[in-house]
């Protein structure tokens, strides 16, 4: 007769084994449901071999199949444990490295803060401690650089202090020499050095101003007012201090010139009133007491004119006395006239005649 062999393809989830597992059922099942559910592979077996005639008989339904899950191998568990341990160790080392970096950064920041505060001795102390505690740090080069800058800055600070003391004491030449040798580049004293150079420039200008003003003051003491005035006219003060001194000396010279102008004004008033003798007296006072004043030049120009007028007044006065035979008054007038014009031949002749008259009367 005919035999049938059926197979069932189970999923991995159903069989608990590999996907596509094939389960065979016993032959002889003829149920249509079984044939539909499992699929049928027909195999005909007869007396004459395969392919013989005979009625086909359906195979019976297979029994239920139980599949067990295979246990995991031990090496998988060991791998998981190893991964967990490795990650934990890595996290610990990472955390320690992070904490160490933070400490290094704080220590380096402390060195930098001390440098910014210009506490250079503290910079050196903290930098040495940093290099001792963190010799392999990435910030070692930076900290060493701060140490070098701190040493240079400390030396610059001492030089700056000396230069300031020299400027205060007026030692301009030595201050200029030290300032020329000062190198404050890369230190917190660059602006200070620039300020010192400006101060030195002002100090030099002030020293030169004082030298000029000293000469003016000496000229005033020696009554050389003309020299003092000429220097002051050409002088331009460069500092506020020398400006005040200049104004004080100029006021002294102006006062001197003002007194001279006052006398000259009186002389001009007397001259205008016809009092040549008084005018000459004021002019002479101007020239004697204020010979270097601005008004003295005008007085010198006025004096010859006054003398000329005074000469003619005395000459005419003497002639009037001669006509009135007041010989002594005539002699006095002619002698005064000769003081203003000693080489006048006419007055000399008139004076001689008057003196002869006096002698004849005796």
- Tell me the three-class secondary structure of the chain, residue by residue: CCEEEEEEEECHHHHCCCCCEEEEECCCEECHHHHHHHCEEEECEECCEECCCCCCCCECCCCCCCCCCCCCCHHHHHHHHHHHHHHHHHHHHHHHHHHHHHHHHHHHHHHHHHHHCCCHHHHHHHHHHHHHHCCCCCCHHHHHHHHHHHHHHHHHHHHHHHHHHHHHHCCHHHHHHHHHHCCCCCCCCHHHHHHHHHHHHHHHHHHHHHHHHHHHHHHHHCCCHHHHHHHHHHCCCCCHHHHHHHHHHHHHHHHHHHHHHHHHHHHHHHHHCCCHHHHHHHHHHHHHHCCCCHHHHHHHHHHHHHHHHHHHHHHHHHHHHHHCCCHHHHHHHHHHHHHHCCCCHHHHHHHHHHHHHHHHHC
Give residues with Cβ within 8 angstroms of 111, minimum separation 6: 123, 126, 127, 130, 143, 146
Segment 296-317 shows an average pLDDT of 88
Give residues with Cβ within 8 angstroms of 69, minimum separation 6: 16
Q: Which of 6-15, 104-113, 184-193, 317-326 has the lowest mean pLDDT?
A: 6-15
The backbone torsions φ and ψ at residue 23, rounded to the nearest 5 degrees and listed phi first, read -115, 125
**147 closest CA partner among 105, 114, 185:** 114
**307 closest CA partner among 340, 277, 352, 274:** 340
Structure tokens at 126: 């903290």
> What confidence category does residue 362 fall into, taking pLDDT thresholds of 50, 70 and 90?
low
Query: Pairing relation of β-strands 49-50 and 40-43?
Result: unpaired
Segment 340-355 shows an average pLDDT of 87
For residue range 165-176, list pLDDT tens digits in order.
998 888 899 999
> What confidence category does residue 338 fall into, taking pLDDT thresholds of 50, 70 and 90?
confident
Of residues 180 and 15, more confidently modeled: 180
What is the model's pLDDT at position 210?
94
Structure tokens at 241: 């201090």
Q: Tell me the chain's radius of gyration from C-alpha atoms.
A: 66
> What confidence category does residue 78 fall into, taking pLDDT thresholds of 50, 70 and 90?
confident
Of residues 247 and 10, more confidently modeled: 247
What is the model's pLDDT at position 360?
60
Give residues with Cβ within 8 angstroms of 92, minimum separation 6: none
For residue range 260-289, list pLDDT tens digits in order.
999 999 999 988 888 888 898 999 999 998
What is the model's pLDDT at position 255?
94
**231 closest CA partner among 241, 243, 217:** 217
Segment 142-164 shows an average pLDDT of 91
Under 8 Å between Cβ of 334 and 326: no
- How far is Cα 34 from Cα 62, in angstroms, rounded to an integer? 8
Segment 201-215 shows an average pLDDT of 93
Q: Which of 71-75, 211-215, 234-238, 307-311 has the lowest mean pLDDT?
A: 71-75
Domain positions in the chain are 1-70, 96-188, 223-361
If you search the block for the tokens 């001795």, which residue do you land on?
121
Segment 40-54 shows an average pLDDT of 46
Give residues with Cβ within 8 angstroms of 222, minimum separation 6: none
Tell me whether residue 91 is exposed, middle or buried, using C-beta atoms within 10 angstroms of its C-beta: 0 to 12, 13 to 18, 19 or more.
Answer: exposed
If you search the block for the tokens 């270097």, which residue do you land on?
292
> What confidence category does residue 33 fall into, taking pLDDT thresholds of 50, 70 and 90?
very low
Proportion of the chain above pLDDT 70, given as a percent: 78
User: In this model, does residue 40 exceed pLDDT 50?
Assistant: no
- How far is Cα 296 from Cα 193, in angstroms, rounded to an integer? 52
Average pLDDT, the chain: 81
């Amino acid at each position: 007769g005919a035999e049938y062999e059926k197979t069932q393809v189970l999923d991995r989830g159903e069989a608990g084994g590999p996907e596509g597992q094939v389960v065979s059922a016993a032959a002889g099942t003829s149920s249509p449901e079984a044939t539909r559910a499992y699929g049928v592979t027909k195999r005909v077996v007869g007396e004459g071999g395969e392919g013989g005639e005979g009625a086909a008989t359906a195979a019976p339904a297979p029994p239920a199949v139980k599949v067990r899950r295979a246990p995991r191998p031990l090496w998988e568990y060991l791998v998981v444990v190893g991964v967990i341990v490795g990650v934990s160790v890595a996290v610990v080392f990472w955390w320690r490295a992070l904490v160490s970096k933070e400490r290094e950064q704080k220590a380096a920041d402390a060195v930098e803060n001390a440098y910014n505060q210009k506490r250079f001795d503290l910079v050196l102390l903290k930098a040495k401690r940093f290099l001792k505690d963190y010799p392999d740090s990435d910030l070692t080069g930076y900290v060493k650089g701060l140490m070098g800058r701190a040493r240079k800055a400390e030396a610059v600070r001492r030089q700056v202090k000396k230069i300031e003391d020299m400027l205060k004491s007026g030692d301009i030449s030595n201050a200029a020499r030290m300032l020329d040798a000062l190198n404050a580049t890369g230190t917190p004293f660059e602006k200070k050095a620039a300020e010192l150079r400006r101060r030195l420039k002002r100090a030099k200008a002030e020293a030169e101003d004082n030298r000029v003003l000293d000469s003016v003051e000496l000229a005033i003491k020696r009554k050389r007012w003309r020299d003092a005035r000429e220097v002051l006219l050409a002088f331009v003060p460069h500092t506020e201090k020398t400006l005040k001194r200049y104004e004080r000396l100029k006021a002294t010279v102006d006062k001197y010139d003002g007194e001279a102008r006052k006398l000259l004004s009186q002389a001009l008033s007397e001259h205008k009133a016809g009092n040549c003798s008084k005018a000459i007296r004021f002019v002479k006072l101007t020239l004697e007491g204020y010979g270097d004043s601005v008004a003295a030049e005008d007085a010198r120009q006025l004096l010859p004119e006054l003398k000329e007028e005074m000469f003619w007044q005395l000459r005419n006065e003497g002639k009037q006395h001669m006509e009135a035979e007041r010989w002594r008054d005539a002699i006095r007038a002619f002698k005064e006239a000769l003081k203003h014009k000693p080489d006048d031949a006419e007055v000399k002749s008139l004076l001689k005649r008057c003196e002869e008259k006096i002698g004849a009367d005796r």
